[in-house]
Structure 1
Amino acid sequence: MWTTLITLAIGAFGAVAAFWLGIPAPFLTGPAFLVTLCGISGIRVAIPARLRDVIFLIIGTNMGTAVTPEAVATAGKWPLSLIILSLCILAIFLIGARLLQMWFGMDRMSALLTATPGHLSFVIGLTDDLKADISRVTLISSLRVLTLTLLVPFIAPLLTGEPLPRLAPATQPMALPALAAILILATALGLLFQRLRVPAALLLGGMAVSSLAHAFSITEGSVPQWLSLPAFATMGALIGTRFGGVSFRMLAQAMGASATLSSFAAIVSLAGAYAVSQLFGIPIVTVLIAFAPGGLETMMAMSVLLDANPAYVAAHHVFRLVFLTLVLPIVVSRNR
């Protein structure tokens, strides 16, 4: 209990500090950075699973409020965008693994699992039956997610030439009865998704119910900021808790490999995002968040904070997870 309260307090301080410093997406990046720093300094940090699920539900519901007919109208352009994303995934996965082998002496299996662009929980599940360095795979992969979370908000303004908003433009909040009804239905759908082993089940459940309600004008408005902003700050803190108990020495050993992999992934993702943006006229910020191989929940949350198109971002990140779920076991089996 006290560990959770301390973690939330650290995250809240990080969010406020980042906001006043003018850092983009402060309610995500601020807590992620500060909780990470505290975790590797020896302070116990943790977010319980039930609180995590509630936060995912709220953030998913908030994403669905941005699904408008205009946003859905871009769906006709998505198939080619998904093909380009597939090529980027394969490049990061296969070439990235080769770089880890040549430059950091990793064995083939550990390199493949580490270079997998996302789907960390699935990767960890595979290691039970494989000869791989699970601690090294997990640490490097977690560092990559943190790096992308902190870098994307700073890279995006360089591409657009304009500063990003610290907060998405404020909209009329949903009526509380409508919000309560959506959260109840979203919880039921999210629990169903969990039984079906769908990734980020409650987040996607919240987004699905909220999207339908807004797309068909059953309700309108966003999740009130008094609920959404603490949810984003807790999400940032959750990212930082992955580094609890990690020593500076362990971190230093993994940073070189993580920096190399993150840089290569960023270059490939930027190239793919730029191509899609130029071909289809989709804002570069939206495509970059959709192509960045970070955590599904993290990048979907960032799409809201940076006023991108959550439907487009969600479609691409869910596709990435499905694609990896199908491809990774095949590649792994051929390299056992």
Structure 2
Amino acid sequence: MDPRLGLVGTILIAILGGGVAAFAGMPAAWLSGAMIAVTAASLAGWDTRLPPRLVDFAYLLIGTALGCGVTPELLSGALAWPLSLLGLAITVAAVIVAVRVFLTRVAGWDRDTAFFSAVPGALSFVLAMASESDADIRKVATSQSIRVFLLVAVLPGLIVAVETDPPLPAVVPEGSLAHTVLMIVAAAVVGLLFRRLGVPSGLLTGSFMASALLHGSGLVSGAPPAPLVVLAFVLLGALVGSRFAGTSLRFVAGILAASIGAFLVATAIAGLMAVGVARIIGVPIDQAIVAYAPGGLDAMMSLSLALNMDTAFVAAHQFARFAGIAIALPFVVPKRRIAIRVDTSGKED
């Protein structure tokens, strides 16, 4: 098969999968839908490999978009809840440790795979970093997807029966063309610098930090155009799906029990910490539970609005968790566990 035909076909399959998922209202629709569709294509024997430059472009856009959640308003709001944010940091660390222990000692997973599968949230960032480690990205992607699915499916019912509301507008509005260009240029410069310095997932990490600094300082505002962000998630979903060649339903069934167990461990820790913090600082327990939820930022924001919660409180905590993971993750993964190798697609791993 002509590689160009394979690439065009893969992207079209990814877009179709993401579009169907978005129409169905799935969380992280363009990422998860593209991943599922390309996974199916991989299992069917389609050449789904992506060229390295296209993958780099996706990482650059994703990192830039992730940093848009860091705004002066959220930074100011975070200062009003120091104890709650401290509790959140402890919760995230506890979840990672506990789930990793569960997956290694109970489920028998290797350390790298268990570690990345234990990180509660920042799915695109985790998958990008996992793809550059010795982790089994199939297990990481599948277990993380199961966690988000269960979280979104179970949490609303545990709090209250909520009627379906119209989709929320983007949390961060689209920025001007000038701000978008500045964000992407700064992200590219810092990302390439981080890669040159050997920072794990340097392009993704650097682009996120550059965008976060620009937004947090108030120098720019708004997110990149939605089509660019959607394209980035479609490409990352296609990248993850291209790693599933040879995977069968038996594989999914084989990790389902471990993934559900990891979900129960994570939600139990997050729920207990949320209840404790809520009693100490005097916020509603259900609001704290949504704020402390281990992942599903977009779904948790929708739930907080539907339940008339303090959306600023929920947003500050969800973005703090997301940003904290994105900033800290590259530096808590020992560099000796990051292997640089070239696969058949030419992408650095």
TM-score range, shorter chain: 0.7 to 0.9
Contact 2:65 / 2:211 at 8 angstroms: preserved in 1?
A: yes
- Paired with 1:29 and 1:171, the residues of 2 have a C-alpha distance of 21
Amino acid at match of 1:266: F
- Paired with 2:63 and 2:36, the residues of 1 have a C-alpha distance of 23
Amino acid at match of 2:265: V
Residue by residue over 1:36-88, the C-alpha shift from the partner in whole angstroms, topping out at 9 and shown as x without a partner, is 12212222212222212211221222222221233223263434322232222
Deviation for aligned residue 1:18: 1.7
Contact 1:29 / 1:150 at 8 angstroms: preserved in 2?
A: no
Q: Decide which of 32, 41, 44 is 2:44's aligned counterpart.
A: 41
Q: Decide which of 283, 307, 310 is 2:319's aligned counterpart.
A: 310
- Paired with 1:229 and 1:90, the residues of 2 have a C-alpha distance of 32
- Paired with 1:5 and 1:259, the residues of 2 have a C-alpha distance of 32
Deviation for aligned residue 1:190: 0.6
- Paired with 2:168 and 2:9, the residues of 1 have a C-alpha distance of 25
Identify if the C-alpha distance between structure 1 residues 9 and 283 changes in structure 2 by more than 3 Å, giving closer, same or farther.
farther
Amino acid at match of 2:13: I
Identify if the C-alpha distance between structure 1 residues 322 and 304 changes in structure 2 by more than 3 Å, giving closer, same or farther.
farther
Is 1:258 equivalent to 2:255 in the alignment? Answer: yes
Deviation for aligned residue 1:155: 4.3
Is 1:74 equivalent to 2:78 in the alignment? Answer: yes
Amino acid at match of 2:292: V
Residue by residue over 1:90-119, the C-alpha shift from the partner in whole angstroms, topping out at 9 and shown as x without a partner, is 222223222234xxxxxxxx6445433446
Deviation for aligned residue 1:274: 2.0
- Paired with 1:158 and 1:320, the residues of 2 have a C-alpha distance of 31
Deviation for aligned residue 1:9: 0.4
Amino acid at match of 2:259: S
Amino acid at match of 1:241: S
RMSD: 3.3
Q: Decide which of 87, 95, 118 is 2:94's aligned counterpart.
A: 87
- Paired with 2:13 and 2:336, the residues of 1 have a C-alpha distance of 39
Deviation for aligned residue 1:5: 1.4
> Which residue of 2 is the match for residue 5 of structure 1?
8
Deviation for aligned residue 1:156: 4.9
Identify if the C-alpha distance between structure 1 residues 122 and 53 changes in structure 2 by more than 3 Å, giving closer, same or farther.
closer
Identify if the C-alpha distance between structure 1 residues 11 and 166 changes in structure 2 by more than 3 Å, giving closer, same or farther.
farther
- Paired with 2:63 and 2:46, the residues of 1 have a C-alpha distance of 30
Contact 1:277 / 1:283 at 8 angstroms: preserved in 2?
A: yes
Deviation for aligned residue 1:315: 0.5
Deviation for aligned residue 1:187: 0.6
The number of residue pairs the alignment matches comes to: 295
Identify if the C-alpha distance between structure 1 residues 31 and 167 changes in structure 2 by more than 3 Å, giving closer, same or farther.
farther
> Which residue of 1 is the match for residue 246 of structure 2?
246
Deviation for aligned residue 1:166: 5.2
Amino acid at match of 1:287: Y
Deviation for aligned residue 1:204: 2.7
> Which residue of 2 is the match for residue 277 of structure 1?
274
Deviation for aligned residue 1:194: 1.3
> Which residue of 1 is the match for residue 66 of structure 2?
63
Amino acid at match of 2:21: A
Q: Decide which of 124, 141, 148 is 2:134's aligned counterpart.
A: 124
Normalising by structure 1, report the TM-score: 0.74
Amino acid at match of 2:323: A
Amino acid at match of 1:82: A
Deviation for aligned residue 1:183: 0.9
Deviation for aligned residue 1:142: 4.3
Q: Which runs of 5+ in 2 are unaligned?
A: 118-128, 302-314, 339-349
Larger helix fraction of residues: 1
Amino acid at match of 2:321: Y
